[in-house]
Amino acid sequence: MFKIRAITNLLLVAAVIFMSYYSSIVGINGETQASVSNGLSTDFTPAPYAFSIWGLIFVMLVVIAIKDIRLAFADSTDGEESFNCWLTVALVFTIAWTIVWSYLLIGWSLLVMAAIFVSLALAILRDKPRPVSANMTLALYFGWISVALVANESAWLVHLGWVADNGQGWLSDPSFSVMQSALSLVLFALVLSFKSIRKGLEPAVFVYPLVGVWAYIAIMVKNGAGNPNLLVYVSAFFALILLVVTGYFGTKWNANYSAKSKD
């Protein structure tokens, strides 16, 4: 059974990568991910280079999927599995999100994005031990989905016509994006407030807020040219907060690792 699960997960990872790059380069429904995003963009949307983090997430997913394949076909059954059913579910929802986003079903895409977020949270909460590489992958994946969830919510409000630069929406940039930036920080803080989440990601818990730093820097880069607006300074401040949090958890992990290495 483990062999079937391992092969299935590897195929799902390949499908996620294929769908992501196909929808970005060729497009689905006559739209690429970028073209949809550009039509629903706000000041909170990070600079395009920020989305390259998906490449790192994909590499890590391939690594842990191959590890599970090797473990499944090894003579010894001793070892730690990287995938569980909830991570598999998150991959399925990621494929579904690519499709509904491309078909401009923005409300549905927000629901699917929330499902990815919940699935990854449940994957992290699993009690069984995992390899460090698996926890790093989960921290990266969960961190970026935390940013993407807020960005998807922003896109949905733009799609509804609630946000517009011409003053016809209920909200306008950059004030709206400052609120979204604050909401993103609250989400990161809320996730890290759960001891079970921190324990589930150890020793890679510091990677999770580091993804937030990456996103805020990309927001600053996008909005910093010319005459910077308030969002640039707010994002810089929030990035600094998350960087301090990253340093705290990173130092704590290093201290624990050093202590164990002396035993």
Q: What is the DSSP string of 167-197?
A: S-SSB-TTHHHHHHHHHHHHHHHHHHT-HHH
Domain hosting residue 70, numbered range = 2-261
Q: Given a cut of 90, is residue 251 above it in pLDDT?
A: no
CB 180 within 8 A of CB 158: no
What's the pTM value of the predicted model, to 2 decimals?
0.92
Range name among 17-21, 80-84, 105-109, 192-196 with the lowest pLDDT average: 80-84
Which pLDDT score, from 0 to 100, does residue 100 have?
97
Average pLDDT over residues 18-25: 95
Q: Given a cut of 50, is residue 262 above it in pLDDT?
A: no
Other Cβ atoms less than 10 A from the Cβ of 172: the count is 16
Q: What are phi and psi of 41, to 5 degrees?
A: -75, 150
Q: Given a cut of 90, is residue 229 above it in pLDDT?
A: no
Which of residues 98 and 225 earns the better pLDDT score?
98
Helix axes 175-192, 230-261, angle to 10 degrees: 20
Q: How many domains are there within the chain?
A: 1
Residue 259 pLDDT level (bands cut at 50, 70, 90)? very low
Q: Given a cut of 90, is residue 260 above it in pLDDT?
A: no
Q: Given a cut of 50, is residue 263 above it in pLDDT?
A: no
Q: Given a cut of 60, is residue 232 above it in pLDDT?
A: yes
Average pLDDT over residues 67-78: 82
Q: Given a cut of 50, is residue 6 above it in pLDDT?
A: yes
Tokens standing for residue 63: 């690594």
Cα distance between residue 14 and residue 158, in whole Å: 32
Tokens standing for residue 169: 């929406």
Q: Given a cut of 90, is residue 252 above it in pLDDT?
A: no
Which of residues 34 and 254 earns the better pLDDT score?
34
Average pLDDT over residues 62-87: 87
Q: Given a cut of 90, is residue 248 above it in pLDDT?
A: no
For the chain, give the percent of residues with pLDDT over 90: 71
Residue 187 pLDDT level (bands cut at 50, 70, 90)? very high
Which pLDDT score, from 0 to 100, does residue 78 have?
67
CB 12 within 8 A of CB 69: no
Q: Could you read off the pLDDT of 198-223 as tens digits, one per residue?
A: 999 988 999 999 999 999 999 999 88
Residue 102 pLDDT level (bands cut at 50, 70, 90)? very high
- Give the containing element (helix H, strand E) for 232: helix 230-261
Which pLDDT score, from 0 to 100, does residue 162 have?
85
CB 34 within 8 A of CB 101: no
Q: Please, what is the Cα angle at 205 between 202 and 211, to 5 degrees?
A: 155
